[in-house]
Amino acid sequence: MLAIADNYFAQFALPVDFEINSDKLGSRYRELQAEVHPDRFAASGEEQRLQAIKLSSYLNEAYETLKSPLRRAGYLLRLRGIDVEQVAQSDLAPGLLVEQMELRESLAELPGGESAFDRLDELNRKAASWLAERQRQFVRALAGNRLDQARKLFHELQFLHKLQTEIDKKEESLESVADF
């Protein structure tokens, strides 16, 4: 049915790189799903259907890993044999911790009314620009084979990503009481 490649990038015929062509990823994903999805085997035997579920699940996992910049970064480190599950406090630069505190504080002290949304937009932009900057540094570290630095940057990306989720949550909770 489907030949399993050495890594997720190869599975979608993409170079092993943080920079990714997402149109290509999407179209390749859909082509491969069209071959292995369980619906293609609705009339086949049990064994083939089970195999289809496995392959289709595998493709979904591979696709979602590469689609998300954060998960893609973690995966690139894993390919270099680095365990990203473990995180130590010392992996996080003091500067980041300060930025984090500031952002979290502004999140907790949002003004009332419409201006809260403007403030959230601003925070979102800030987080996004820090994220973009660290992604660039991550790419450089990886290219220069400075793996320990890349790992630290990855954990910082994780931190910033979590902050973005918190901003989103905050936005949702404000929306549910706002008028629009």
Positions that interact with another protein (CB under 8 A): 26-27, 30, 33-34, 37-45, 47-48, 53-54, 56-57, 60-61, 63-64, 108, 166, 168-173, 175-177, 180
Considering the complex, what minimum distance in angstroms separates the CB of residue 161 from another protein? 13
Cβ distance to another protein smaller for residue 91 or 166: 166
Cβ distance to another protein smaller for residue 40 or 146: 40
Rounded to whole angstroms, the Cα distance separating 1 from 167 reads 43
Rounded to whole angstroms, the Cα distance separating 129 from 15 reads 26
Look up residue 106 and give its two tokens.
Answer: 């502004």
Cβ distance to another protein smaller for residue 23 or 145: 23
Rounded to whole angstroms, the Cα distance separating 176 from 180 reads 10
Instruction: State phi, psi for 4 to the nearest 5 degrees.
Output: -80, 125
Cβ distance to another protein smaller for residue 114 or 175: 175
Residue with tokens 């910033």: 160
Q: How far is CA 25 from the centre of its chain?
A: 15
Considering the complex, what minimum distance in angstroms separates the CB of residue 70 from another protein? 13
Considering the complex, what minimum distance in angstroms separates the CB of residue 88 from another protein? 14
Considering the complex, what minimum distance in angstroms separates the CB of residue 84 from another protein? 14
Max distance between CA atoms of the chain, in angstroms, equals: 61
